[in-house]
Amino acid sequence: MLIAGNWKMHKGPEETAHFCRRLREHARPSDVDVVVCPPSVSLATAVQVLAGTDVAVAAQNVHWDDEGAFTGEVSAPMLRELGVYGAIVGHSERRQHFGETDESVARRARAALEAGLSVIACVGESGAAREAGETEDVLRRQVSVLERDENLVVAYEPVWAIGTGKTATPELAQEAHAFIKTLLDVPVLYGGSVKPDNAAELLGQPDVDGALVGGASLEVDSFLAICRAATRS
């Protein structure tokens, strides 16, 4: 079971250090893998404070080239040098606001995996696509560009549940996860307004292998509660 906290554009280095110090104070069950994903400016701080623990640090994005004229981007070798464990690619906010495509997601994932990073590749349908009965078509297209790798996991994040407070029912999540696994044999996380009060039921579904947590990962107590829910699932 993997629980990853995507902090998005929250927590500079000082706040990151405070969060990570509190996180390392709490003993965690060994059967849950925990990852925090701070903004780029806070990655080094998180790696330093969490050194010697089992909590891994991942980036929120990664470029497909090792270096070059790509202002604002960060490469896989740079992340490896920092001691970063992995990276998220293809988050719905990257697709929506920054022109991310299935092809660019595939290039980012491939480069990160080849560099030895673990990858959380995000897929998911919009509300309009779900209402039109196109969920499987969207997932099939997005997953088709990814290749199985032992360091790859997929995160199913229904776009209509990102930052909206809406959550897919456990049954809807299970259905989507089971379908994704017919396309690609990798673990699948659920992402979409995961909170302490719904985590256990979502994580208890047979094809849900963990969670990519957004807003609820910004508070230590909330994040730990979700980690504890994972141990009971």
Q: At 122, which helix (H) or strand (E)?
A: strand 118-123
Rounded to 5 degrees, φ, ψ at 69 are: -85, 75
Measured between alpha carbons, how far is 198 from 11 in angstroms, rounded to an integer?
25
Please say whether the beta carbons of 109 and 152 come within 8 A: yes
Strands 2-6 and 210-213: parallel
Catalytic residue, chosen from 91, 93, 125, 177, is: 91
Q: Where are the alpha helices (DSSP H) in 73-195?
A: 76-82, 92-97, 102-114, 127-131, 135-144, 170-183
* 190: β partners: 156, 211
Measured between alpha carbons, how far is 202 from 219 in angstroms, rounded to an integer?
20
Q: Would you call 69 exposed, middle or buried from its count of C-beta atoms within 10 A (0-12, 13-18, 19+)?
A: exposed
Q: At 5, which helix (H) or strand (E)?
A: strand 2-6
Catalytic annotation present for 67: no
**Residue owning tokens 């293809």:** 90
Catalytic residue, chosen from 93, 100, 125, 157, is: 157
Catalytic annotation present for 91: yes
Q: Where are the alpha helices (DSSP H) in 115-169?
A: 127-131, 135-144
Q: What amino acid positions are annotated as catalytic residues? A: 91, 157
